[in-house]
Amino acid sequence: MDKNELKRKCLETIDQYKDQIIALGEDIYKTPELGYKEFKTTERVAAAFRDNGLEPETEIAYTGCKVSTPKQDGPRVSVMGELDCVVCAEHPHCITNGNIHACGHNVQLANLFGCTMGIMKSGVMAELSGGVDFIAIPAEECVDIEYRDSLIADGKIQFYGGKQEYLRRGGLDDVDMILQCHMLEMEDKNKLCTVSTDTNGFITKTVHFIGEGAHAGFAPSKGINALNMAELALNNIHALRETFRDEDKVRVSAIITEGGGLLNVVPASVRMEIMVRAFSLEAMMDASHKVDRALKAGALAIGGKVEIRQKIGYLPMKADRRLSRIYRQNMIDFAGANEDSFIEVYETAGSTDLGDMSQLKPCMHVWSGGVTGGLHTKDYRLTDQEAAYILPAKMLALTIIDLLYDGAKEAKAILENYHPSFTKDSYLEFMKANSKVELFDSSAL
């Protein structure tokens, strides 16, 4: 069958499921759950699949579920919809604990379901090579850390991010590329979506300066002042800022969470939290190294100790341009878009765990319209059901058809031109090596 015929069949099928797609998105909006707590949400998505005769695999990354087309030769594409919500107690639709889908993940899940129906119920797979995994993935927002640390301590997960965890568990071993959409207000009403997105990655550091207490009046000469170490360290970090290149979008944020005990005692214990963000892996590691140096120099000057607990959050995202272009073309061919309907590249200093995936596999990340109000804020609302729930479902499905048609020629070409920063093993090794605790003791120097 001709490719455009396949596409039309797929679009018709998605239209037949319109009511179910919208109902799913609206239902999930009523039960927002934070990452790795998405039990009801997973069940609702799984039920939508089951109601339509599909057999979802569940608990894929502690929570989450997926359905897959049968294995056959050729590249495997995955589409992801995220399960978790955010907290915004000022949002009028939030539930009692402040939980609210103010990042539009309920819409993503509706898109995922619609796309699944379009590909699996239209019969188009019979004409395509390779395969597709439709994945409802947990925990994109890097929040609620205490709870996630408890899951890590109990051996239930190893990563804060659901995609990181799913990758570790082998879920993406046979997946070659990932497609995903988020919903964002299009401030310029002529724009229908952003085509490619690049984001910062980040590293967190929990810092403990350890000195020696002494009476601040009688005997400050006997103390080792941990607050002075922290102050010097902050100044050192500020002195480094001119070494960060504009294009690397480096942000170093620091707060003092414990500044000393009693006013008349030389502070022996001072704690800080630091976040280092940057636009590329190299810049992120470079800035992190410099910050460590600054922290140690603060301790060194005073003759104290500093313990640095470091953890990699998410890696920078570089969306695959060739992949995004296919979605873009479908918007022109099937959604009434023209050359001026797009924001071609959206660069943001925010972060997502799709960033990690983009360092290993070609990833597409589109921001689609149909909502108003800032992400994660009290004003975030869905305003256009067709644009938010239905259109991205269709465009994702059409993108899959383009990728896997004609012996999956397009998907193969994208893979040939893609150069990963890591293999799965080297990624896991890198994450492990850079999640570390280091104690710098200058008292003997």
Strand 131-137 with 76-82, pairing: parallel
Q: Minimum Å distance from CB 420 to Zn ion? A: 24
Name the residue whose CB lies closest to Zn ion. Answer: 103
Measured CA to CA, the distance from residue 284 to residue 288 in angstroms comes to 6
Q: Minimum Å distance from CB 134 to Zn ion? A: 18
Q: Minimum Å distance from CB 179 to Zn ion? A: 15
Tell me the window of 6-14, 34-42, 68-76, 102-110 that interacts with Zn ion (CB under 5 A).
102-110
Q: Minimum Å distance from CB 243 to Zn ion? A: 31
Taking residues 311 to 340 in sequence order and writing x for each that binds Zn ion by CB under 5 A, - otherwise, the string is ------------------------------
- 10 Å CB burial of residue 21 (0-12, 13-18, 19+) is buried
- At 56, list the tokens: 């979802």
Q: Minimum Å distance from CB 160 to Zn ion? A: 14
* Closer to Zn ion by Cβ: residue 103 or 388: 103
* Closer to Zn ion by Cβ: residue 110 or 299: 110
Element (H or E) spanning 365, and its range?
strand 363-368
206: helix, coil or strand? strand
Tell me the window of 16-24, 98-106, 162-170, 214-222 that interacts with Zn ion (CB under 5 A).
98-106
Which ranges constitute the DSSP H helices of 362-390? Answer: 385
Q: How many residues belong to the site for Zn ion (CB under 5 A)?
A: 1
* Closer to Zn ion by Cβ: residue 103 or 331: 103
Tell me the window of 95-103, 219-227, 286-294, 301-309 that interacts with Zn ion (CB under 5 A).
95-103
Beta-sheet strands, E only, within 259-327: 269-278, 305-312, 317-318
Measured CA to CA, the distance from residue 298 to residue 133 in angstroms comes to 50
* Closer to Zn ion by Cβ: residue 137 or 230: 137
Those residues whose C-beta lies under 8 Å from the C-beta of residue 135, and which sit 6 or more positions away, are 60, 64, 65, 66, 78, 79, 80, 81, 112, 166, 171
* Closer to Zn ion by Cβ: residue 193 or 302: 193
Under rule CB under 5 A, residue 354 binds Zn ion: no
* Closer to Zn ion by Cβ: residue 135 or 294: 135
* Closer to Zn ion by Cβ: residue 179 or 210: 179
* Closer to Zn ion by Cβ: residue 103 or 226: 103
Measured CA to CA, the distance from residue 24 to residue 44 in angstroms comes to 8
- At 360, list the tokens: 């290993």
The answer to whether the beta carbons of residues 10 and 118 sit under 8 Å apart is yes
Q: Minimum Å distance from CB 375 to Zn ion? A: 6
Taking residues 47 to 86 in sequence order and writing x for each that binds Zn ion by CB under 5 A, - otherwise, the string is ----------------------------------------
The answer to whether the beta carbons of residues 123 and 134 sit under 8 Å apart is no
- At 373, list the tokens: 């109000």
Tell me the window of 96-104, 209-217, 280-288, 415-423 that interacts with Zn ion (CB under 5 A).
96-104
- At 108, list the tokens: 């993503």
Number of helices and strands in the chain (H, E) = 13, 18
Tell me the window of 99-107, 191-199, 258-266, 304-312 that interacts with Zn ion (CB under 5 A).
99-107
Under rule CB under 5 A, residue 103 binds Zn ion: yes
Residue 73: CB atoms within 10 A of its CB come to 9
Q: Minimum Å distance from CB 376 to Zn ion? A: 6
Q: Minimum Å distance from CB 153 to Zn ion? A: 26
46: helix, coil or strand? helix
Tell me the residue type at 383: T
* Closer to Zn ion by Cβ: residue 103 or 403: 103
Measured CA to CA, the distance from residue 26 to residue 107 in angstroms comes to 8
* Closer to Zn ion by Cβ: residue 237 or 382: 382
Tell me the window of 33-41, 103-111, 203-211, 222-230 that interacts with Zn ion (CB under 5 A).
103-111
What's the CA angle centered on 365, arms 167 and 368, to 5 degrees?
135
Q: Minimum Å distance from CB 141 to Zn ion? A: 5
Among the listed residues 20, 46, 48, 14, the one whose alpha carbon sits nearest the alpha carbon of residue 121: 14
Q: Minimum Å distance from CB 264 to Zn ion? A: 45
* Closer to Zn ion by Cβ: residue 120 or 387: 387
* Sites of contact with Zn ion (CB under 5 A): 103
